[in-house]
Amino acid sequence: MSNSSEKEILRLLSDIQTREQGFNMVVEKYSKRVYWTIRRMVVSHDDADDVLQETFIKFWTSLETFRGESSIYTWIYRIAVNAATNFLKARNRYLATDVDSSEFFRKMEAPDELFDGDAIEKALQGAIAKLPTKQQMVFMLRYYDEMSYADMSQVLGTSEGALKASYHIAAQKIEKEVKLSLIESV
């Protein structure tokens, strides 16, 4: 987003009379990118829609606390990543207490008509899913969203050096896992 449009949105958001117009501009500008960030984390379209809605509700209800120390872009991504992480933690708690979670896993493995990919893409997604949560987030924000390490540092609250190391380790693990997966499928 250009600085002029960022400033315009911030101006609209800061005025109670134009706040809704500013919010609509944010939703229009970021919803698709934020959706795909969330989607890659939670996998399911329906879950991603729920987390996206939660993200924008949290954004709207937290407008009064936004201090402008980061851009709208990094702030909304931080909210989205936190919402997706909280969703995943809640789902894992549910699975840990559910005696028969096999039905859940069958649903997760079912093909999603909105997510169509070839063997390499499926191998990549499988490899990403095996990473620890923090490495998943770092890899996805850098690889798919092409987010800078500086912006990631603000979103994830981690130093740029640690993020670079996490990305490097994640990329190595993914490369190894994808190669293995493709060899096994032949």
Of the residues 55, 82, 110, the one at which a domain ends:
110
105 shares a domain with 121: no
Who contacts 164 (Cβ-Cβ below 8 Å, separation ≥6)?
A: 149
DSSP state, residue 17: T
Average pLDDT over the chain, rounded to whole? 82
Q: Average pLDDT, stretch 53-80?
A: 89
Considering Cα of 146, then 150, then 154, then 158, what sign does the dihedral take?
positive
At residue 123, the pLDDT reads 81
> Residue 74 carries which side chain, given as an amino acid letter?
T
Write the pLDDT tens digit of every residue in 98-125. 444 444 444 444 445 554 456 777 788 8
CB-side exposure of 101: number of CA atoms within 13 Å? 12
At residue 99, the pLDDT reads 44
Chain centre distance of CA 143? 12
Residue 74 sits in a domain of what CATH number?
Answer: 1.10.1740.10
Write the pLDDT tens digit of every residue in 151-185. 888 888 889 999 999 999 999 999 898 888 877 76
3-state secondary structure of 19: helix
At residue 17, the pLDDT reads 94
97 shares a domain with 37: yes
121 shares a domain with 75: no
Task: Count Cβ atoms below 10 Å from residue 139 Cβ, excluding itself.
Answer: 23
Domain with 84 in it? 1-110
94 shares a domain with 30: yes
Give percent of the chain with pLDDT exceeding 70.
82
At residue 118, the pLDDT reads 66
Write the pLDDT tens digit of every residue in 41-64. 887 899 999 999 999 999 999 988
What's the structural domain count of the chain?
A: 2
17 shares a domain with 100: yes
At residue 170, the pLDDT reads 92
138 shares a domain with 46: no
91 or 116, higher pLDDT? 91
| Cβ–Cβ < 8 Å for 110, 44 | no
Class of residue 181 by CB neighbours under 10 A (exposed 0-12, middle 13-18, buried 19+): middle
At residue 103, the pLDDT reads 46
At residue 133, the pLDDT reads 82
